[in-house]
Every structure is written in structure tokens, then in C-alpha cells.
Amino acid sequence: MAEISFPLPDLGEGLIEATVLEWLVSPGDQVERNQPLVEVETTKSAVELPSPQAGKVVRIHGGPGDKINVGEPLIVFEVPDNTAGIVGTVPKEEAPKRRVRLSAVLDED
Amino acid sequence: MSNSILESVDAAGDSTPGRTGTSAGTPASTIVMSMQQALNRALDEVLAENPKAVIFGEDCGQLGGVFRITDGLQAKHGAQRVFDTPLAESGILGMSVGLAMAGFHPIPEVQFDGFAYPAINQIVCQIARMNYRSRGTLPMPITLRVPSFGGIRAPEHHGESLEALFAHVPGLKVVSPSNPHEAYHLLKYAATRPDPVIFMEPKSRYWQKGEVNLAHGEAGAGSPTGAKVMREGRHLTLVAWGAMVARCLQVAELAAEDGIDIEVLDLRWLKPIDAEALAASVRKTRRAVVVHEAPLTSGLGAEVAQLITQSCFDTLRAPVERVTGFDVPYPSGDLEDEYIPNIDRILFGIQRVLEYKRG
Amino acid sequence: MDTLPVASGGAADPLTPAQLRELYSLMVAVRHLDRSAIAWQRQGIIPGYAPELGQEAAQVGSGYAVDTTRDFVFPTYREMGVARTMGVDMVAYMSTHKATWHGGLYDPLKSRLAPIQAVVAGSVLHAVGWAHGQTLDQKDGVAMTYFGDGASSQGDVHEALNFAAVMKAPVVFFVQNNGWAISVPTERQVAGGSVAARAAGYGMPALQIDGDDVVAVLGATRRAFAHARAGNGPVLIEAMTYRRGPHSTSDDPGRYRTLDEERDGAGADPLERFRQRLLADGIADEAFFAEALAAAKAEEEQIRTGIQALASRPGTEMFDLVFQETTPALQAQAANWREESEHV
């Protein structure tokens, strides 16, 4: 597994910071791309930031009332370690299991 | 192919990359990576070394392929040399023919084994015979990468084993790596050949890591042609390729618990098949079982068995056994483990050979 | 774009309020099941899924035009909304995503839906053959085949369009142009930008429609069916829509498109658009929408329970279903499998 960190995006109009109003996800949550993550307030308005990534939330930065600068870490996701194909599942490495025993009298001629 | 027996014997030495875990004496050129990374690295180097090499297929460019084998290559080498095509396999392979005629070395990708079927016309009727048709004036240096075989609970047409189909076609060469080291070296070799090579990547092994000795030649990889002994043994030879090699190595360890010493031969090249390596191994062990995922009937196991019988008839203690997939369409994920040869079925095959009595 | 003669297309009766509400209920059911299937994958209930988020109007609207007493439909792997609209058993349909059986466990003949097709453009020609069979049998069934902008690149699609036009086969080619073939956008897939425009070359009438407007989709599909059923030959419909989600549950669209591009490309949500329209026209109220959502949730729960309870198929089916008349070699392999397997 790898971690992907997303900073507070540039919210446009020259805004350089935002205040966290409410987190809509918690560490441990599995979120989908585009799912609302957090409500933040800028000097202009309150906006919901959608998730740019599907994955499991590992950490969130800043509680309600905290200010975060654009470019500072906002949220960290855990994603599969570049192991995904487009379909199917990565096989698990398992210890070999057996039922069958071999028996033989081997002549060594 | 000339020195394949010697190479097979050499390959059984301590530096054999297939026998990982030898921390002492590991060459400095050895690094640990997954097969996915090894293939990516090989392609990166091929692009750097050959300005006429081009990579293309469905989602090969910006996405880096659905298995990320071409990840980052477009960014590094440019969209002229690593590009997405429209979604049409026959188009991808047909276009490869023209590119080859124009002096390029196409390295097309068919996204999944089962999607090679729509391209069969171009592969069989065109790529495989252009050199012959043109009396050698239009060689087809095309390296077709095909994520192959089953084991990942994927949808239909994402788990097929097409080696016998390809091997049957005059004018095609076929190779399949079994681990990251083999993947790196075999792809680098295949992608520099003047003939068409079908490169079958065992997709269930993409993510397992292993040591890759990047050095070429005798000090490093050894020969990229012919078969390779992955484990030496005295009593019986297991012949396999692709994802089945790792399973056969597991079986060999289990058999050792029962006092049976098994040699595992990674065939690597499915066309041409290294008949000398088969002969050398089975002359020693006198027993052989061939394992493949593909269906039994007219599978490559039959070809292997015949080659062994031809060279070792007098010393064989039992008929060559085949442990294979069944003559059924590759099943859905729920039944995959019933289809792919498992450890017990391979052990049963070994036991049949061990207890065989003449007469 | 609309080159379908009005006369031959037979203007259908306007939709009743009850039908409009039914369309909405279907779209909600499909939306909820689709979303849930992604969650099932994340929860380990199914190994993978190909979502159709954003294509509800295209799928429900077109599927609603099918007469399951006489027509036949050829889906790809992303037509859950069509299957649901046609009344297919959804546990049997979703079983393919549980890796129980390629093609799904539903009965194609009874449900009038061909097995789920994993090969892109794999069944487009089949529709032509089925439709020509109707001509030979002097029946009035119509085949509808689904494919996408990506599939339109396959040579088989050209062959199918040409065959159907030459033979005047009663086929509706329903193209969902959802903007993306995995990572490749339509502008790098479809030269000229429109699949519908190609129909002219085959002398085939075509419609390019707003695929996110369920009423428009249904209207166009009904006209196409009427045209084909009357013996006038095939019609191509290109429903312009957008794949709002990933290609599959393992896909990461962040590698090839930004959220902004996604938002711009997707436009207004087809479900929300239809909701607003029903409200504005006084066809439905909030109570109805709440009821529809509750029904969708109950339905999803039932399907999930069914999927979770679904056992693996017996391994003997691997051998039993290869042929109608089995072979000695296959019987021997089945016997060998039984002997060497724990799953007797």
C-alpha cells in the first residue's frame, strides 16, 4: 500500500487559505472519487471539496475552525501500491497447501 | 539456441536468479523489483537504445497501460513513440505490419489475451508470413506483448492461454517469462529480434517481487534463448512456463519432503522449444511431467511429451504425464482454482509417473 | 442530427404520467444499485464492477422501448440499467460481477437479453444475424445492440452496419457515446467526432440525441423500433452521454482526467434533470421521489442478500456446459477432475 497526500487546492480568485468548517469523512473511511470530503470556508463562500481520489482515508489535517493554506496537506489516502490492473484481483501469496503425498521406490540405476 | 544445454547447466548454479534468497554473493547489479517494474524498465531501455522502437495499443500512453507496464514511458519518450490507438486489435496489429515495413520496430500491446482473437487475422495471415512472402526483404520485427493466462478472477477473455495457437503458426516465435528477472531479460532480447515474437506476460505474476540481475551475458543473465533449469533434481523433471513455473517450484519443495528430488525446467521459449534442454534434463531424471494452464487437447504439453519421447525413449521410466487445464472455456473466477493445475493435481501427476510399472 | 423519416418512424403516443413516473423509479433503482455495486466491491462482496453512473437515462430510456414478447437485446458488460428496465432477474445478472459465471446466470431466451458480452463490439454482428432470422421467418421482432464510442473503432461494427443495411435487417444500433474508452476520450477515438454521422455512408437513417434526457431517448428508440419493425431496415442512434465514474472498480480516472474536466464533460446529472422536469410539470412530488428512493434501497438490499447468498457453481458445470453432445475426452477429464479434487 502507498499513501497519496492531497494539499488544499487553489480555490481560485487569489484566495490563499481556507477555514475548515466540517469534515465529511473520517480516517478509515473508504471514499469514492468526487465524494464530498470537507466543507471549508473562504473569504468568499463556503464550499464542499470533492475527493480527487478513490481510496481509504488515512489522515485528515485541521479540525473545525483551523485555517489551512493553499498547498498545505489536507488529506492523505491509502491506495494500492500501483498493483491494480483494470480488472481482476491481485492474487495472494499463500503458503503452499497439499493433500497428496508421494510414495515411490526409486531405483537409482 | 546452440549452447542451450550448457547454458541450462550453468544456469543451475548459485547465481541463478530464479533461486532467489541468495543474499551472500548477490552481484551489485541485482535489484529487487516486481515483474511489472522489470518489464517497464526493459521497455524504457529498448526505447532509449533503439530510436525506431515504438510502443502502442489501447491505453498504453497517458494511462500507462491497464497493468501499468508502460507507465511513465510516454512522458519520458514522447507521444510519438508511446501512443494510444483507437480500440481495435486488428487495427493495432495490422498497423504494426506497415510500421515494420517502414523500418520501425513496433512493440504493440494487446490489452488482454482474449483480445488477441480479433487480431488473429493480421497476426496469422500477415505478420507471420510477410518475411516469407517478401523473400526476406520485408522482415517483421514486431514484439507483441500480451498479458496472458489466468489467476486474477477477471471477466471473460481475460484469462486465456494462447501459446499453442501462436506456436502452431509458422513464422511466429513465442516466449513467456516466469519471474521478474526473466521478464526483464527476455523482453529486452525479444524486442531486439528481427522476427515477430509473441511475448506472453503471466499477469498473475505481475506484482510478485524478485531479484533482477541487470547485467547481461555470462556474469549476469546468461543466455536469453532456450530453456532454463530453475531447480536441479534427480528423480523427475517438471516442465512448465509462465505462471506455472512458480507453482512447480513449490511442488518441488513439497516433493522433497517425501524424498523425491525434482528438477524444474522453465521452458521460457515456447517456439522454438529447446529440445536439447528437455533431452538433457530427462536423460538424467528419466521421468517427466509437463504442466500448463492451457487446455489439454493439442496443448503444448503434447509437443513437449513428443520431444522428450523422441530423445529419451530408451531411458524413460514412464510415459510423460500432462497436468493441464481442461478442454473447457476458461471459467469464471469462482471456478478458476478448479481449472488451473493446482499443487495436488501436479502431485497426482508426479505420483502416476513414479508408480508406473512397465509391461 | 435526425435522418429518420418521420412517417416511417411512427410518432408514438405521448407518455402518460404513470409511465413518466415509472421511468423515474427505474432510473433511481439503477442509480442506487450501480452505486451500491461499487460499495459491494469495496466491501469484498464482488471482485469487480463496471459502473454506468451517468448513463441511466440512455439505458432506461432505450430499454423501456423493448417489447420483450418479440424483440431481442444484445448488451455489452455495462448495460445493467437496460437489464433492470427489461425486468431481468438482477441477482442472476449481477452474478457475473461476482465471478460466478461469465455471461451471467439469467436465461437469455426468457429474458430476451443475450449473455453479458466482455468483448468490445463482440455481439454487434449477432444482432444482425438475429434480425435477419426475423426476416427469414417473416416475424416482426427487432434486435437492439448496444455498443460504445470505443467499440465503434472495431472492424466488426463496420461489418455489422453494412450487413444490416444491405440486408435491410431490423436492427437498432444503440450507441452510448459516453466520452471515454477507459482512458481515451472520444476525440481521439472517433474520427469525425460522431458515430451517427457514419450511418449516412451505409444509407442508414440515424439520430444523434441527448442521451441524458430519458424522454428523448425513449422517443428516439421507439421511432427506431417502429421504422425497423415496419420493414424499413436498420437505424443507428447515438446517445450522447458521459461516463461519470471509472471504467471499472480498478480504474483510476485521476490518471487521465481532472475533476474539473469531469464536471465540465458530464454536464447536468440526468437523474436530477428528470426530477426537476417532473416537478415542474406537476407529474411527481417529493413524496413520490422519497418513495422511489425507498423502493430502490429495498430492492438493492434484496439483490445484495441474493448475491451474498449465491454459492459457487459446481465444478462439474465446467465440463457439462461445453457442448450439447459431450465427448469421451471431456468425460474422462471430468472423471479425473472429480477424482483429484476435494469438491466431489
CATH of the domain at B229: 3.40.50.920
Give A13 or B174, the one with higher predicted confidence: B174
What is the pLDDT at residue C245?
A: 93
Confidence of residue A81 (pLDDT cuts 50, 70, 90): low
Q: In C, which residues are within 8 Å of A79 by CB distance?
A: 252
Catalytic position from the list C84, C243, C244, C275: C243
Question: pLDDT tens, A32-54?
Answer: 888 899 999 887 788 888 888 88
Q: What's the whole-number mean pLDDT along residues B31-36?
A: 95
Range from B14-28, C2-16, C98-112 carrying the lowest mean pLDDT:
B14-28
Q: In C, which residues are within 8 Å of B338 by CB distance?
A: 315, 318, 337, 341, 343
Q: Which of B213, B233, B256 is the last residue of a domain?
A: B213
Q: Are residues B243 and B260 in the same domain?
A: yes
Pairs from B137-140 (Cβ < 8 Å, separation ≥ 24): B138/B100, B138/B101, B139/B100, B139/B194, B139/B195, B140/B97, B140/B100, B140/B195, B140/B196
- List the domain boundaries for chain A: 2-83
Written as one letter, the residue type at C189 is: Q
Question: pLDDT tens, B239-250?
Answer: 999 999 999 999
- Cα–Cα dist C232/C117, whole Å: 28
Q: Are residues B198 and B246 in the same domain?
A: no
Q: Are residues B18 and B38 in the same domain?
A: no
pTM: 0.90
Q: Is the pLDDT of residue C9 over 60?
A: no
Q: Nearest-CA distance from C174 to chain B in Å?
A: 18
Confidence of residue B7 (pLDDT cuts 50, 70, 90): very low
Q: Are residues B127 and B168 in the same domain?
A: yes
The residues, ordered by sequence, that sit 6+ positions from B297 with a Cβ below 8 Å of its Cβ are: B327, C329
- Cα–Cα dist B328/C320, whole Å: 9
Is C126 an active-site residue? no
Share of chain B above pLDDT 70, in %: 92
The residues, ordered by sequence, that sit 6+ positions from B62 with a Cβ below 8 Å of its Cβ are: B74, B84, C183, C255, C256
Catalytic position from the list C158, C256, C257, C277: C256
Q: Is the pLDDT of residue B10 over 50?
A: no
Q: Is the pLDDT of residue B316 over 60?
A: yes
Q: How many residues does chain C have?
A: 344
Q: What's the whole-number mean pLDDT along residues B51-64?
A: 96
Q: Which of B190, B213, B236 is the last residue of a domain?
A: B213
Confidence of residue B6 (pLDDT cuts 50, 70, 90): very low
Q: In B, which residues are within 8 Å of C99 by CB distance?
A: 153, 332-334, 336
Share of chain B above pLDDT 90, in %: 88
Q: Are residues B203 and B170 in the same domain?
A: yes
What is the pLDDT at residue B9?
A: 31
Confidence of residue B204 (pLDDT cuts 50, 70, 90): very high
Residue B121 DSSP class: I
Q: What's the whole-number mean pLDDT along residues C216-227?
A: 97
Across the interface, do A102 and B260 touch by the CB < 8 Å criterion? Answer: yes
Q: Are residues B326 and B256 in the same domain?
A: yes
Q: Are residues B273 and B311 in the same domain?
A: yes
What is the pLDDT at residue C10?
A: 52
User: Is the four-CA dihedral A77, A81, A83, A88 of positive or negative sign?
Assistant: negative
Catalytic residues of B: 158
Q: Are residues B292 and B339 in the same domain?
A: yes
- B154 shares contact with chain A (CB less than 8 Å): yes
- A33 shares contact with chain C (CB less than 8 Å): yes
- B329 shares contact with chain C (CB less than 8 Å): yes
Range from A73-77, B268-272, B352-356 carrying the lowest mean pLDDT:
A73-77
Write out the residue range of the structural domain in which residue B79 sits: 30-213
Residue B359 lies in a domain: no
Residue B218 lies in a domain: no
Q: What's the whole-number mean pLDDT along residues C54-79?
A: 98
What is the pLDDT at residue B280?
A: 98
Q: Do C63 and C86 touch, CB atoms closer than 8 A?
A: yes
0.90 surpassed by complex ipTM: yes
Question: pLDDT tens, C243-270?
Answer: 999 999 888 898 899 998 999 999 999 9
Q: Nearest by CB to B338, which of C77, C327, C341?
A: C341
A59: helix, coil or strand?
Answer: strand
Q: Among candidates B241, B127, B146, which has minimal Cα distance to B187?
A: B146
Q: Is the pLDDT of residue A107 over 70?
A: no
Q: Do B317 and B356 touch, CB atoms closer than 8 A?
A: yes
- Cα–Cα dist B294/B297, whole Å: 9
What is the pLDDT at residue B29?
A: 86
Q: Among candidates C22, C15, C64, C80, which has minimal Cα distance to C291?
A: C22
Q: Are residues B209 and B300 in the same domain?
A: no
Residue B161 lies in a domain: yes
The residues, ordered by sequence, that sit 6+ positions from C29 with a Cβ below 8 Å of its Cβ are: C84, C292, C295, C296, C299, C300
Mean pLDDT (chain C, rounded): 95
Across the interface, do B335 and C181 touch by the CB < 8 Å criterion? Answer: no
Across the interface, do C189 and B338 touch by the CB < 8 Å criterion? Answer: no
- Cα–Cα dist B163/B85, whole Å: 25
Q: Do C26 and C215 touch, CB atoms closer than 8 A?
A: no
What is the pLDDT at residue B289?
A: 98
Peptide bond preceding B272: is omega within 30 degrees of 0, i.e. cis? Answer: yes
Q: Which of B213, B246, B277 is the last residue of a domain?
A: B213
- Cα–Cα dist C44/C49, whole Å: 11
Pairing assessment for the beta strands A55-60 and A73-79 based on DSSP bridges: antiparallel
Q: Is the pLDDT of residue B60 over 80?
A: yes
The DSSP element (H or E) to which B167 belongs, if any, is helix B163-167
Q: Do A70 and B317 touch, CB atoms closer than 8 A?
A: no
Q: What's the whole-number mean pLDDT along residues C70-81?
A: 98
Q: Is the pLDDT of residue B264 over 90?
A: yes
The DSSP element (H or E) to which B75 belongs, if any, is helix B73-77
Q: What's the whole-number mean pLDDT along residues B145-161?
A: 94
Is A2-83 assigned to CATH 2.40.50.100? yes
Most confident of A95-109, B127-141, B211-225, C248-262: B127-141
Which of these CATH numbers, 1.10.3450.40, 3.30.56.10, 3.40.50.970, 3.40.50.720, describes C6-312? 3.40.50.970
What is the pLDDT at residue A34?
A: 83
What is the pLDDT at residue B168?
A: 98
Number of domains, chain B:
2
**B-to-C residue pairs, Cβ atoms closer than 8 angstroms:** 117
- B204 shares contact with chain A (CB less than 8 Å): yes
Q: What's the whole-number mean pLDDT along residues B151-160?
A: 92
Written as one letter, the residue type at A87 is: V
Q: What's the whole-number mean pLDDT along residues B126-145?
A: 98
Across the interface, do A88 and C252 touch by the CB < 8 Å criterion? Answer: no
The DSSP element (H or E) to which B186 belongs, if any, is helix B180-190
Is C106 an active-site residue? no
CATH number at residue B106: 3.40.50.970
Can you say whether residue B126 is alpha, beta or left, with left for phi > 0 and alpha for psi between -120 and 50 degrees?
A: alpha
- List the domain boundaries for chain C: 6-312, 314-344
- B333 shares contact with chain C (CB less than 8 Å): yes
Across the interface, do C322 and B328 touch by the CB < 8 Å criterion? Answer: yes
Across the interface, do C246 and A99 touch by the CB < 8 Å criterion? Answer: no
Q: Do B60 and B109 touch, CB atoms closer than 8 A?
A: yes
Grid cell at residue C279:
416537478
Q: What's the whole-number mean pLDDT along residues B346-353?
A: 97
Residue B219 lies in a domain: no
Q: In C, which residues are within 8 Å of B339 by CB distance?
A: 318
Residue C144 DSSP class: E
Q: Are residues B139 and B102 in the same domain?
A: yes
Nearest CA in chain B to C336: B345
